[in-house]
Structure 1
Amino acid sequence: MPATKQNRDDLELIREAAGGAGRIALSYFKQAPQTWMKTGNSPVTEADLAADKYLKDMLLTARPDYGWISEETLDERVASPRQRFFVVDPIDGTRAFIEGLDVWCVSVAVIEKGRPVAGVLECPARDETLTALPGFGSQQNGTTIRVQAESQPFKVAGPGGFLKKLPQHFLASIEHSPHVASLAYRIAMVARGDLAGTFVRPNSHDWDLAAADLILSEAGGNVLTTKGQPLTYGVRNSSIGDYKHGALVAASGLLMDNMLAVVAESTFG
């Protein structure tokens, strides 16, 4: 899908918005922000809420006809058919943020017809901004990024039990990467070649994935379901819950094929 002028304009908008939200979140970082536990034992901080409010105000003021999907707030406007949606996670990796670790990011994407058409990950504690447009590749701080070459040793993230099920000829060249709390950032690590791939447990959401999905796909990889299909975003009332997904794989090439085979045979595939 080529990048249209609307996609380019939207990317500039969400890049500016994510940068502002990142600065807000960074002002709370390592400052012991007030924290609450949501349903499902998931934490949220005052930084999440402040960044989310900034994003919602800025983005829906600029694009009042777009839908809104966020981890922290609902779209309370009158329901009507919408062609495009913002998909937002004000802080992906909140647990890392609370612990004072720098691996967290602001994730913002625009989706149309179920797929991302602009994506930004703003990682202010690491001074990194990752962006992507369909057909224009992925960049980090303005430099093009690509997935890892298959000839290199494989560093793979995800449950150790999954890694052990990979074919024997892979095991000698695979290193199990330490856990990264931010799923979006972990997928970005695959996009820029720090990781060869990552398994993703069930129950991730649109806001964890949409921006990172586009960044990875434009860098030469994919995020796929157990059936080898790309994700569809903005789906409500699905069998596993609104905006939720089952087990996934983020990788490329032959490793992707082998990782998919492992997940397809898992008990929660």
Structure 2
Amino acid sequence: MALLLAAAQAAGPIALRYWRRDPKAWEKEAGAGPVSEADLAVDAALKDHLRAARPDYGWLSEETPDDPARLSHDRVFVVDPIDGTRAFLAGEEAFALSLAVAVAGVVKAAVVHLPARGLTYAAHAGGPATRNGAEIHASARTDLPGADVLTTRATLAPEFWPRGVPDLKRSFRASLAWRLCLAAEGKHDAMLTLRDTWEWDSAAGSLIAERAGCRVTDRHGAALRFNQPVPQAPGVIAAPPDLHAALRAHLA
């Protein structure tokens, strides 16, 4: 975790050098969203920092062409250089650097850093989740009605909820990694996405939420696994255990 923290703190200023300075940006193929020169610069800096220290680790990043050689590595860096690129390009503060180490498919160390907000969330297996070094805890909420859930408007479409759309308060932030961290610190009661979710978006935040007391699974209730051949999961649910069970019951 110390290595991830150092890498995030070193790369954060690189992102800020481009932020609100009209960086070059373009759309990825197949409707995969925008990317900018800032994403690529941060990705290169993180890769240089992390792989110089751990050359035997695999590498999975949103902005690096995927190399199947990562599948032969037991330990893999899972990185999103800028999670929330649309917010970044709009000059908003809600973007994050997401860094994780997965060992045999399970995240063991994680950092989510928001340089424009001065926030750093972190966790490692067996330890607490922290925000700027202070321990954080998930919400104590158990009831679904009225719960404050970070999710998209599309997620609340009736076709996803055979038992009826639950009566909840919807909130949203651009960065999925930050949404997981906000659930971890109890600022919101839960985080939910039903769309297929890239591993680099969820890896770091999932461990932070888990160590803060959330149950974190895919939309079907299965544990998340990382460094998969196709690095996606069928959605993510992060919530305190009773609230997680209530969400799953409504989705079933």
Common fold: TM-score over 0.5: yes
Distance 1:61 1:77 in 2: 20
| Offset of residue 226 of structure 1 | 3.0
1:156 aligns with 2:149: yes
2:14 corresponds, among 2, 6, 24, to 24
Distance 1:64-1:161 versus aligned 2 partners, 3 A rule: closer
Give the aligned partner of residue 36 of structure 2: 45
Identity %: 38
1:175 aligns with 2:166: no
Give the aligned partner of residue 212 of structure 1: 205
Give the aligned partner of residue 250 of structure 1: 238
Give the aligned partner of residue 195 of structure 1: 188
- Deviation digits for residues 192-216 of structure 1 (CA, Å, limit 9, x no counterpart): 1111112213221110001000000
| Offset of residue 75 of structure 1 | 5.7
Within a 5 Å distance, the mapping from 1:228-267 to structure 2 comes to 228-236=221-229, 242-264=230-252
| Offset of residue 151 of structure 1 | 6.5
- Is the 2:71–2:228 Cα contact (8 Å) retained in structure 1? no
Task: Detail structure 1 runs of 4+ shifted over 4 Å in the superposition.
Answer: 75-80, 160-168
- Is the 1:67–1:75 Cα contact (8 Å) retained in structure 2? no
| Offset of residue 78 of structure 1 | 6.1
1:102 corresponds, among 87, 93, 100, to 93
Give the aligned partner of residue 74 of structure 2: 83
- Deviation digits for residues 126-152 of structure 1 (CA, Å, limit 9, x no counterpart): 100000011111000010000012169
- Which secondary structure state, in structure 1, belongs to the residue aligned with residue 138 of structure 2? coil
1:68 corresponds, among 59, 63, 82, to 59
134-143 or 154-163, which moves further after superposition? 154-163
- Is the 1:162–1:262 Cα contact (8 Å) retained in structure 2? no
TM-score when normalising by structure 2: 0.90
- Is the 2:71–2:227 Cα contact (8 Å) retained in structure 1? no
- Is the 2:129–2:211 Cα contact (8 Å) retained in structure 1? yes
- Deviation digits for residues 230-252 of structure 1 (CA, Å, limit 9, x no counterpart): 1000010xxxxx10111321111
How large is the RMSD of aligned CA atoms in angstroms?
2.3
- Is the 2:58–2:70 Cα contact (8 Å) retained in structure 1? no
TM-score when normalising by structure 1: 0.85
Aligned length: 246
| Offset of residue 162 of structure 1 | 4.9
Distance 1:225 1:194 in 2: 21
Give the aligned partner of residue 33 of structure 1: 23
- Deviation digits for residues 70-95 of structure 1 (CA, Å, limit 9, x no counterpart): 00003659678322000000000001
* Aligned-partner residue type, residue 253 of structure 1: P
Distance 1:80-1:146 versus aligned 2 partners, 3 A rule: closer
Distance 1:79 1:95 in 2: 28
| Offset of residue 221 of structure 1 | 0.2
- Which secondary structure state, in structure 2, belongs to the residue aligned with residue 198 of structure 1? strand
- Which secondary structure state, in structure 1, belongs to the residue aligned with residue 242 of structure 2? helix
